[in-house]
Structure 1
Amino acid sequence: AVRPVPLEFTYAVTPVHETIEDLISRGRAPVYVVHFTQAQAVERAQALLSAKICDKAEKAAIAEAIGDFRFHTGFGATLSKLLRAGIGVHHAGMLPRYRRLVERLAQQGLLKVVAGTDTLGVGINVPIRTVLLAALSKYDGTRVRRLRAREFHQIAGRAGRAGFDTVGYVVAQAPDHDIENIRAVAKAGDDPKKLRKVVRKKPPEGFVSWGEKTFLTLVDAPDEPLRSHFRMTTAMLMEVLSRPGDCFAALRHLLEENHEPRPRQRKLILHTIALYRGLRDAGIVVQLDEPDADGKNVALSVDVPENFALTNPLSAFALAAFELLDPDSSTYTLDVVSILESTLDDPRPLLLAQRKAARDVAIAGMKADGVEYEERMARLEEISWPTPLAEEIAFAYGVYRQGHPWIASYQPSPKSVLREMRERAMTFTELISAYGLARSEGVVLRYLSDCYRVLRTGLPNSVMTDEIVALTEEVGAMVRDVDSSLVDEWEALTSHSGE
Structure 2
Amino acid sequence: MSDHPLLRRLPSSSGASNDDLLSCFLDYVTEKKLELYPAQEEAVLELFEDKNVILNTPTGSGKSLVATALHFRSLAMGRRSVYTSPIKALVNEKFLALCRDFGPDNVGMATGDATVNRNAPIMCCTAEILANYALRDGAQAPFREVIMDEFHYYADHERGVAWQVPLLTMSESRFLLMSATMGATEFFRDELTRLTRAETTIVSSRERPVPLEFSYVETPVDVTLQELVEAKKTPVYLVHFTQNEAAQAAQDLMSLNFCTPAEKASIKDFMMGVKFTSPYGKEVKRYLAHGVGIHHAGLLPKYRMLVEQLAQRGLLKVICGTDTLGVGVNVPIRTVLLTRLSKYGGQKVSTLSARDFHQISGRAGRRGFDDIGYVVAQAPEHVIENLKMDAKAAGDAKKLRKMVKKKPPEGFVGWNEDTFKKLQSASPEPLTSRFQVSHGMLLQVLSRDGDGCRAMQRLIADSHEPPKAKKQHRKRAWQLFRALVERKIIEMLPKAERAEGRKLRLNVELQDDFSLNHTLALYVIDTLAIIDPASPTYAADMMTLCESIMENPDTILRRQLSKVKDDAMAEMKAEGIPYEERMARLEELEYPKPCRDFIYSTFNEFQAEHPWVGQDHIRPKSIAREMFENFRSFADYIKDYELDRAEGVLLRHLSGVHKILTQTVPDKFKTESVQEMEAWLAGVLRGTDSSLLDEWERLRDPNWKPSEDEPASREPADITRNKREFIALVRTEIFRFLRPLAMGNYKLAASQFSQLRSIWSEESLIATLDPYYDEHERISIDNEARNGRHTYVESSEDKRTWRVCQVLVDPEGLNDWQMEFSVDLEQAREAGKPTLALLGIGPVVVT
Seen in structure 2, the aligned counterparts of structure 1 residues 483 and 232 have a Cα distance that, compared at 3 Å, is: farther
CA contact 2:278–2:688 (8 Å) conserved in 1:
no
* In structure 1, C-alpha distance between the alignment counterparts of 2:489 and 2:671, rounded to whole Å: 21
| Alignment partner, residue 13 of structure 1 | 218
1:465 aligns with 2:671: yes
SS in 2 for 1:409: coil
- Which has the higher mean CA deviation after the structures are superposed, 67-76 or 467-476? 467-476
The equivalent residue for 2:351 is 146
Find out whether 1:47 has 2:240 as its counterpart: no
**8 A Cα contact 1:284 1:301, kept in partner:** no
CA contact (8 A) 2:390 2:400 kept: yes
Equivalence for 1:89: 294
| Alignment partner of 1:226 out of 410, 426, 431 | 431
2:548 to 342, 361, 372: 342
**CA distance in structure 2 between the aligned counterparts of 1:202 and 1:409, rounded to whole angstroms:** 44
* Distance change >3 Å, CA 415–CA 427, structure 1 → 2: same
Task: Return the alpha-carbon distance in structure 2 between the equivalents of residues 403 and 427 of structure 1.
Answer: 39
Q: Distance in 2 between matches of 1:186 and 1:418?
A: 55
> Deviation at 1:35?
0.4
**Structure 1, unaligned runs of 5 or more:** 292-296
Distance 1:496 1:10, change over 3 A: farther
Q: Residue 383 of structure 1 aligns to a residue in which SS?
A: coil
Return the match for 2:577 from 364, 371, 392.
371
User: Closer, same or farther in 2 for the Cα pair 1:455/1:216, shift >3 Å?
Assistant: same
Q: 2:686 aligns with which of 473, 476, 480?
A: 480
Q: Which has the higher strand share?
A: 2
**1:88: Cα distance to partner?**
0.3
Contact 1:310 1:316 in 2 (8 A): no
Q: How does 1:61-460 map to 2 (within 5 A)?
A: 61-229=266-434, 311-460=517-666
Deviation at 1:424, TM superposition (A): 1.1
User: Residue 308 of structure 1 contacts residue 458 of structure 1 at CA under 8 Å; is this kept in 2?
Assistant: no
- Summarize the Cα distance change of 1:148–1:97 in structure 2 as closer, same or farther, 3 Å threshold: same
Amino acid at match of 2:265: A
Shift of residue 446, structure 1, vs aligned partner: 0.7
Q: Deviations over 1:272-293 (max 9, x none)?
A: 89999999999999999999xx
Q: CA deviation at 1:269?
A: 8.5
Q: What secondary structure, in the 3-state scheme, does the structure 2 residue paired with 1:8 have?
A: strand
Instruction: Read off the aligned partner of 1:349 and give its amino acid letter.
Output: T
Change (3 A) 1:449 1:247: farther
Aligned to 2:239, the other structure's residue is in SS state strand
Deviations 1:228-251 (A, max 9, x none): 5467888899999999x88969x8
- Asked if 1 retains the 8 angstrom alpha-carbon contact of 2:250 and 2:287, the reply is yes
Matched-pair contact (CA < 8 Å) for 1:234–1:313: no
The whole-number CA distance in structure 2 between the counterparts of 1:401 and 1:202 is: 52
Shift of 1:202: 1.1
Distance 1:38 1:477 in 2: 27
Q: Secondary structure at the match of 1:114?
A: strand
d(CA) in 2 for partners of 1:67, 1:75:
18
Residue identity opposite 1:446 in structure 2:
R
The structural deviation recorded for 1:375 is 2.2
Task: Quote the Cα distance in structure 1 between the aligned partners of 2:691 and 2:466.
Answer: 38
TM-score norm. by structure 1 comes to: 0.86
What are the Cα deviations for residues 432-467 of structure 1, in whole angstroms up to 9, with x where unaligned? Answer: 122111111111111111111111222245533333
SS of 2:262 mapped into structure 1: helix
CA contact (8 A) 1:271 1:406 kept: no
Cα gap change, 1:254/1:122 in structure 2, threshold over 3 Å: closer, same or farther? farther
Find the aligned partners of 1:290 and 1:456 in 2 and give their Cα distance. 41
Structure 2 vs 1, CA of residues 256 and 481 (structure 1 numbering), >3 Å: closer, same or farther? farther
Q: Is the 8 A contact 1:128 1:159 kept in 2?
A: yes
- Name structure 2 gaps, 5 residues minimum: 1-204, 500-504, 706-847
CA distance in 2, matches of 1:475, 1:234: 34
Q: Give, in angstroms, the shift of residue 150 of structure 1.
A: 0.4
Residues 20, 7 of structure 1: alpha-carbon distance in 2 compared, 3 angstrom cutoff: same
| Residue in 2 that maps onto 1:59 | 264
User: So what's the TM-score if we normalise by structure 2?
Assistant: 0.52
For the residue of structure 1 that corresponds to 2:617, the secondary structure is coil
Distance 1:152 1:61 in 2: 34
Q: Is the alpha carbon distance of 1:312 and 1:268 closer, same or farther for their aligned partners in structure 2, counting shifts above 3 Å?
A: farther
8 Å contact kept, 2:312–2:331 = yes
CA distance, structure 2, for counterparts of residue 495 and residue 287 of structure 1: 41
Partner AA of 1:459 in structure 2: V
Which is worse superposed, 374-383 or 485-494?
485-494
CA shift, 1:219, in A, is 1.0
Task: Give me the whole-angstrom Cα distance separating, in 1, the residues matched to 2:632 and 2:331.
Answer: 35
CA distance in 2, matches of 1:256, 1:481: 53
Instruction: Tell me the matched-pair count.
Output: 491
CA distance in 2, matches of 1:315, 1:277: 24
**d(CA) in 2 for partners of 1:69 and 1:359?**
39
Please, what is the CA RMSD of the aligned residues? 3.7
Q: Secondary structure at the match of 1:312?
A: helix
| Cα contact 2:211–2:371 (8 A) shared by 1 | yes
When structure 1 is superposed on structure 2, of 70-79 and 90-99 the one drifting more is 70-79
CA distance in structure 1 between the aligned counterparts of 2:452 and 2:371, rounded to whole angstroms = 53
Q: Which amino acid aligns with 2:237?
A: Y
Contact 2:292 2:316 survives alignment (8 Å): yes
Find the structure with the greater CA-based Rg. Answer: 2
Pick closer, same or farther for the CA change 1:419–1:376 going to 2, 3 Å: same
**Share of identical aligned residues, percent?**
45
Amino acid at match of 1:382: E
Q: Kindly tell me: are residues 147 and 318 of structure 1, through their superposed partners in 2, closer, same or farther at Cα, counting changes over 3 Å?
A: same
2:686 partner letter: R
Q: Secondary structure at the match of 2:273?
A: coil
1:66–1:246 CA distance, 2 compared to 1 (3 A): farther
Q: Does the CA-based 8 Å contact 2:276-2:285 persist in structure 1?
A: yes
Q: Which amino acid aligns with 2:258?
A: I
Which residue matches 1:294?
Answer: none
Q: 2:240 aligns with which of 17, 23, 35?
A: 35
- The answer to whether the Cα contact below 8 Å between 2:440 and 2:612 also exists between their aligned partners in 1 is no
- For residues 374 and 267 of structure 1, what CA distance do their matches in structure 2 show? 46
Contact 1:421/1:431 (<8 A) preserved: yes
**Following the alignment from structure 1 to structure 2, what is the Cα–Cα distance between the partners of residues 327 and 283?**
31
- Larger RCO, structures 1/2 (Cα 8 Å, 6+ apart): 1
Contact 2:638 2:644 in 1 (8 A): yes
Q: After superposition, give the CA deviation of every residue in 1:59-80 in whole Å (9 maximum; x if it has no partner).
A: 0010001111010142100000
Matched to 1:48, the amino acid is L
CA–CA distance in 2 between the matches of 1:401 and 1:146? Answer: 41
